[in-house]
Each structure stands twice: as C-alpha cells, then as structure tokens.
Chains A and B, each alone.
Chain A
C-alpha cells in the first residue's frame, strides 16, 4: 500500500528508474543528497510522519521497499 505511493513520489524526482527492482538508489548514486531531502520532504507531507536526520542513512533510502518500510513503521508509532 505504501510502496505504490512511495514509488509515485520517487518518480517525481527520477522518472527513469525501475523502482520495483532497483536496490541501490544511494549506493549507485542515482539519488544524491539533494534528491533524498526532496523525497523526505514529500514523504513527510504525504504521510504526515516525522522523519528526522537520523533516518537519513543509505540503508533506508536504497530502495522503494526500504523507504516504504520506514513509512509503515513511522505511521504505526
């Protein structure tokens, strides 16, 4: 449920990426720090969650799945 919306947000920033399969958004430098901050802003706006600076780690932002997992976790808190 979250993943679809997350992918929609990611596509606004980089439409060319295959988010279903891509697992190295940060490691492969597809997303730079500017992109990540843009995505985080959109996620906060969309899901009304609190993402803090400590969540800004590559492991979380490497794929749509891991980002969706973060959103789900923060939604439940």
Chain B
C-alpha cells in the first residue's frame, strides 16, 4: 500500500474509526494492529526484519535493566558493609556487563541494516530508484518490464529509521534515562508506529511513548488540524517535488550538452524537490499522527533560512541530527582517548589544537557515517566529507567574517548580513547536493565545473522540451514555490494553522477547499506514476 493513495486514505479513515470507538485503554492495540497491517500490506516478507529488531532490542533492554537492578539491590542490601570503593567496583563491573549486551544488540541490528543496505548489488541510492521510476513514466517505458531489472527487490520499509529509533531507546536504557517498556507489544508499537515508519521522524521513547499509549479522547480539532497538515504535505510533494525529478535527471545525465544555467537550475530544483518530498512526507506523517491525537517531533524548521551550514543541519532532518549528536558525536568527543589527546596537545603547548581536534575528529566520524547513511556509494562519503570541511571552515573563519562585517560598518543582525549568510548557505548546500544527483564522485565534480561553463547557450525551449519540464509545469512549480516561501515567512511568527482556525468557519472551508483543489488539479499524477516513492523512504 502506498503512503499517498486512496487505499492509504481509506486505511487511515478505518483505523481512526476503530481507534475512537474502542475504549481509551486499548487504543494502542488498534495502532499496533494497524501498523503491522500497514507494514504487511507493503511487503509481507519484510515483517521478519522489524520483528527481529523489536525482539532483540526489547530483550537487550530487559537484560540491561535486570543487571542494573541486581546491582542496585545488592548495594542497597549491603550498604553498611560496603565502602565507597566497593560500590564503585560493583557499579563498574555491572556497567561492563550492560555495555556488553548493548554492543551485542547494536552490532546485530546495525549488522542487519548494513547487510541489507550495502551488500545489495542493485540499489546504490534511493534517489536513483525514484528518479528512474519518474523517467520511465516520462518516457513511457513502464510497459516494458525488462527495462527495470530491480523491480522485484524491496528494501525493508524504513529500516534505517526504525533501527535508529530502537537503538536510541536501548542506549537511553543503558544510561538509565527512563524505565524500559515491560510489555513487548507496547514496545512493538513504538518501533513500528505506521505514520512515521516510512521516513521518520526518528522519535525518542521518552516523548513518543507518552503519546502512543495515552489513548487520546476524540477531538475534532485534531482531525481538522491533522488533515490540513496532510494536505500541505501533499501540496509540497505532489505539486512541487514530483514535477522536478524529470528535469534534474535529464539534465544531469546529459550534462556534457547542457551546462551552465541548466545545471544551476538542476541544483536549485533539486533543493526544492528534496525539501518538498521529504518535508512533505513528514507533514503527512505528523498530520496523520495528529488525527490520532498523537504529537510527533518536528523534523524541519525552515532550513533554507539558515545562516550557516551547521545551523542548516540543526534545522533539516532535525531528529537524525540530534540522534547523531547524542549517540555518536557526544560520546566520541568525551571519550577517554579524545581527553588524552587534548591533554597531550595542551602539555605540548598546542592549546588551539587541544581545543579543536577532540571535537573535529568525532565530527569527521559523524559526517562519514551520515554520508553512508544517505547512500552506499563513494559519492555519499564525499558528500559527508564536504559537509564536514565546510562546517570546519565556517567555524574557523567565523571570527574573520565577523571582523569583516564590523569593518564594513554593518551589524551581524542587520537584514543585509543575514540575507547574505542565508543566500551563501543555500548556494553552498545546493552545490553539495550535486553528489546526490550525480552517478559518481567524478561526475559530481564534473557537474560543478560544467555549472560555470557555457552560460550563454541557455535556452528555455530546451528546458521545456528536451529536459522534460514543460512551460506549464514550470509555472506551477514557481507559483507553488512562492506560496511555500510566503508561508515559511509567515510561519516565523507562529503557527499558520492557528491563524487559519481563528478565521470564520466559511473562510476556513474556503482555504481547505482551495488546498484540496490545488492538490487534485495541480498534483503531478499520471499512469504508472508512483507517488509513494519518497526519496528518503527506503534509506
């Protein structure tokens, strides 16, 4: 079942009806049944993967807590006879046993993820997969089954997302942040909650569990609010994102012939496509959850208004960024080897390096992993490295940049400086994404070079015909993108839906009708077109 389809809408409606009919206490069971049904309807075989992860992480957490409890009980029973040193030793011994279990579970589950993702001979990037679909639709090749050799392979849906979410839970249990879930089935819901299974957000147990198990009472405002959010997500995905894949793919595959402005347009369009696709999908997920009275974590915060690359990564795919920060970057940067490195450099008088290196080394590791998370080929590693280099350069040159701004008689907070920084970040990020839309690292660097050649040869006619973006589609994209921009600007001053809901009922219905009409009329549909292929869907 596709995430964006009539079947999915019917599925959500039926689940909502049952959810609100049954008593509050057992509503979570409805969600669990719906989540597993959703997963099974997508592909029955892949249930195996999510069940394995659920059981192993559940057992891991159970054992970790059991060892911790035994230690605490022992210390409590013998508190008068134990010295401080004894207690410390008992805790250390208990912790090492817990750590052993943690590592077994982490390696096992990430092992499955790596095996599925990296030892798969067919899929190197989900973007390639979705673009291939779009192009085949464009070129009317879908009737020819042999043209697409990977059609029988399906990666376990959302495996990266639920693996990260589960392992995050286990690490939190290891650190004793909260009590683990005792009921296996309730835990299974946390891992599999269907609106977020495709592409996140990656939720934390401490927040999501309260929402999932509370059995929220029926409130029409949740349905209305969630529906608006879903429609807005569809607007971004179907009207903007899905119109652009053809142009991007055609331009990049013929970049030797279409250089200069064609490539710059492809980069601009890809930023729009990725944002519309990913944030649109997240809007659908958050909106559907909201209809059940469940609040999911936000994953985007107007990223294109970021003034630096590091800020951008705090506002784009926020839940993945915080996952990496909390579970990889932070533990690595306070690791004893980093502390020793810092000390050694300080003792040798290299105070600057002592301060920076113990941060930059873990940051490099995080960016390599982030690159690998996004795709299994070298160009994604290169993309991660470039992000790292730009962040380091941005951090190191910040004082100089500040001096230049001051010397020019400007304020950091002034409109000009902020606009300059926002534009610079947007351009840099757009260029970095060339790794994502090129077939290898060399092609990506060639693309950057070509972007600055033959500007004079640009013709809109080629865009409309050879590059598969008809004039009408371009106009729709421009208008929709301007609407998205205006909404983002308004959103800075508070929730748009709250403003809409403050309007008279007639105006609210009018806005909703316009949204529905826009998605129905201008959404990018067609025979054989699979609206459900989210770029991030199978990462």
Interface status of B88 (Cβ within 8 A of chain A): yes
Contacts A34-B359, A35-B355, A41-B358 given; does A52 touch B175 at CB 8 Å? yes
Q: Given A37-B334, A38-B342, A53-B326, is A48 in contact with B355 using a C-beta cutoff of 8 Å? A: no
How many angstroms between the C-alpha atoms of A77 and B87 in the bound complex? Answer: 11
Q: Is the CB of B175 within 8 A of A41?
A: no
Chain B residues near A44 (CB-CB < 8 A): 334, 336, 339
| Residues of chain A in range 8-48 having any CB-CB distance to chain B below 8 Å | 12-13, 33-35, 37-38, 40-42, 44-45, 48
- Within 8 Å CB of A52, what residues of B? 175, 177, 326, 330
* Cβ-based interface call for B338 (8 A): yes
With a cutoff of 8 Å between Cβ atoms, the chain A residues found around residue B176 in the complex are: 77
| A56 proximal to B (CB < 8 A) | yes
Contact partners of B88 in chain A: CB under 8 A: 48
Given contacts A34-B355, A38-B355, A54 and B334 within 8 Å (CB-CB): no
* CB within 8 Å of A: which B325-351 residues: 325-326, 330, 333-336, 338-339, 342, 346
Is B402 close to A, CB under 8 A? no
Q: Which of B92, B342, B354, B356 has the most CB of A within 10 A?
A: B342
A51 is an interface residue with CB less than 8 A from chain B: yes
A12 to B351 Cα, complex, angstroms: 10
Please tell me if the beta carbons of B175 and A50 are within 8 angstroms of each other in the complex: yes
List B162-214 residues whose CB lies under 8 Å from chain A. 175-177
Contacts of A41 in B (CB 8 A): 333-336, 338-339, 342, 358
Residues of B within 8 A of A77 (CB): 176
Q: How many A-B residue pairs have CB under 8 A?
A: 47
Cβ of B175: which chain A residues have Cβ within 8 Å of it? 50, 52
Cβ A56 vs Cβ B330 within 8 A: yes
Q: Cβ of B326: which chain A residues have Cβ within 8 Å of it?
A: 52-54
B359 near A37: Cβ-Cβ < 8 Å: yes
B336 adjacent to A45 (CB under 8 Å):
yes
Q: How far is the CB of A73 from chain B (nearest CB, A)?
A: 13
- Check if B330 sits within 8 Å of A53, measured CB to CB: yes
Instruction: Please give, as numbers and ranges, the residues of chain B lying within 8 Å of A51 by CB-CB distance.
Output: 334
Query: What per-residue 1/0 map shows which CB atoms of B304-341 lie under 8 Å from chain A?
Result: 00000000000000000000011000100111101100
The residues of A that contact B359 with a CB separation of less than 8 Å are 33-34, 37
What is the chain B residue whose CB lies nearest that of A40?
B334
CA distance A68 to B346 in the complex (A): 23
Give, as a whole number of angstroms, the nearest-CB distance from A77 to chain B: 8
B325 and A53 contacting across the interface, CB-CB below 8 Å = yes
Decide: A12 and B346 in contact? CB cutoff 8 A. yes
Contact A45 B346 (CB under 8 A): no
For the complex, give the distance between the alpha carbons of A33 and B335 in Å: 16
Residues of A within 8 A of B335 (CB): 41
Q: Are B177 and A37 in contact (CB under 8 A)?
A: no
Q: List the A residue with the shortest CB-CB distance to B175.
A: A52
Chain A contacts for B342, CB-based, 8 A: 38, 41
- CA distance in complex: A43, B240 (Å): 50
Is the pair A34, B334 in contact by a Cβ cutoff of 8 Å? no
Give the most central of B334, B342, B355: most A CB within 10 Å.
B334
- In the complex, the answer to whether B339 meets A45 with C-beta atoms within 8 Å is yes
Residues of chain B within 8 A of A54, CB atoms compared: 177, 326
14 A-B contacts (beta carbon < 8 Å):
A34-B355, A34-B356, A37-B334, A38-B354, A38-B358, A41-B336, A44-B334, A44-B336, A44-B339, A45-B339, A52-B175, A53-B325, A53-B326, A54-B177
- Write the residues of chain B forming the contact surface with A, with a CB cutoff of 8 angstroms: 88, 92, 175-177, 325-326, 330, 333-336, 338-339, 342, 346, 354-356, 358-359
- Other CB < 8 Å A-B pairs besides A41-B338, A56-B330, 16 of them? A12-B346, A13-B355, A34-B355, A34-B359, A35-B355, A37-B359, A38-B342, A38-B358, A40-B334, A44-B339, A45-B339, A51-B334, A52-B330, A53-B325, A53-B326, A77-B176
Cβ-closest 10 pairs across A and B: A41-B339, A53-B326, A41-B334, A53-B330, A40-B334, A45-B339, A34-B355, A37-B333, A52-B175, A34-B359
